[in-house]
Amino acid sequence: MHRHQTLAAFFAMLLAGSCSAADFSGQRALEATRKAVALGQRPPGSAAIARLQAMIRAELKAHGWAVSEDVFTARTPVGQVTMRNIIGKLAGSSGRSVVFSGHYDTKAIPGVNFVGANDGGASTGWLLEMARVLPGFPRKDDVYLVFFDGEEAFGDWSDTNGIYGSRHLAAKWNSDGTLLRIKALFNVDMIGDKDLKIVEELNSSASLRRLVRATANDLGYGKYFPEFGGAIEDDHMPFVRLGVNAMDLIDFDYGPGHAWWHTAQDTMDKLSAHSFQVVGDVMSAVFQRLEK
Ligand SMILES: [Zn+2]
């Protein structure tokens, strides 16, 4: 009996420790994604993305983040488009920073009812749930949550058509010195897929890939991080090219033969709370390891 009481007390203590901060909720992330997706197509400069920007700002402020915006005019194949990266910041004490990012725009696909549940929606909902839980974690570093605009190309992708927001912010942070203080940057994209398989993204920092894989294995989530390698151009790349320790978490195998990507099939029914939970739990644990 005594032994049981001791064990119970021990587990209660463990539980209290692990629950002192709110834990990431995959269900909440899914619901936040649903709200974004309900706005319809959200390409840069649209009325729908303006409504989403208001939602993002309000959520960040509600959870105590200092909110700023990186607004710029992009030259695109369809003309000049105003874009805005939305940035939440929590101040730390070390002079260094950890960044979580993802894009919130969706690709403009004329004539197609493309709502981007996984592509644009999932990264948005996941970051909004991180906005709720990160303030509760012990930290010494500054933390940034970055919502990139203009990840998607207008028409076909090229070196100058796509990742407009991350290219702009990387250049800005390079010139103002913010870049030098980044300890790690994690970009998420398309992480809501029910059939979650995060690519071993070969442009990403090898040390961060090792950290994320070890953490996923420790949490029993190793099967969602298969050792299938591929190099993917995403919002982490402008930072990688400037020497930032950065990593992309992306599941780039969406539907049979990737058939749901950039189509009207990219809808909420393809997503699961559990997939958001896996990525949320892993990144919460990774963050706490980086802050120790
Ligand atoms: Zn896309």
Residue 13 lies inside a defined structural domain of this protein: no
Cα–ligand 1 centroid distance for 256 (angstroms): 17
Rounded CA Rg of the chain = 19
Cα–ligand 1 centroid distance for 99 (angstroms): 21
Residue 10 lies inside a defined structural domain of this protein: no
Cα–ligand 1 centroid distance for 65 (angstroms): 27
Q: Which DSSP category does 158 fall into?
A: B
- Find the domain containing 243 and state its range: 23-290
Residue 70 lies inside a defined structural domain of this protein: yes
Q: What is the CB neighbour count within 10 angstroms for residue 118? A: 28
Residue 2 lies inside a defined structural domain of this protein: no
- Residue 157 has which token pair? 């992708």
Cα–ligand 1 centroid distance for 39 (angstroms): 17
Helix axes 273-290, 26-37, angle to 10 degrees: 120
pLDDT in tens, 154-173: 999 999 999 999 999 999 99
What is the per-residue pLDDT for 253? 95
Residue 3 lies inside a defined structural domain of this protein: no
Q: What is the CATH number of the domain that holds 202?
A: 3.40.630.10
| pTM summary value | 0.93
- Is 15's pLDDT higher than 90? no
pLDDT tier, 20 (very low <50, low <70, confident <90, very high otherwise): low
Residue 4 lies inside a defined structural domain of this protein: no
CA distances, 89 to each of 65, 189, 264 (Å): 5, 20, 34
Mean pLDDT of the chain: 94
Distance of CA 187 to the CA centre of its chain: 5
Residue 156 lies inside a defined structural domain of this protein: yes
What is the per-residue pLDDT for 229? 86
Please state the domain count of the chain.
Answer: 1
Cα–ligand 1 centroid distance for 125 (angstroms): 15
For residue 160, the SS3 value is: coil
Residue 165 lies inside a defined structural domain of this protein: yes
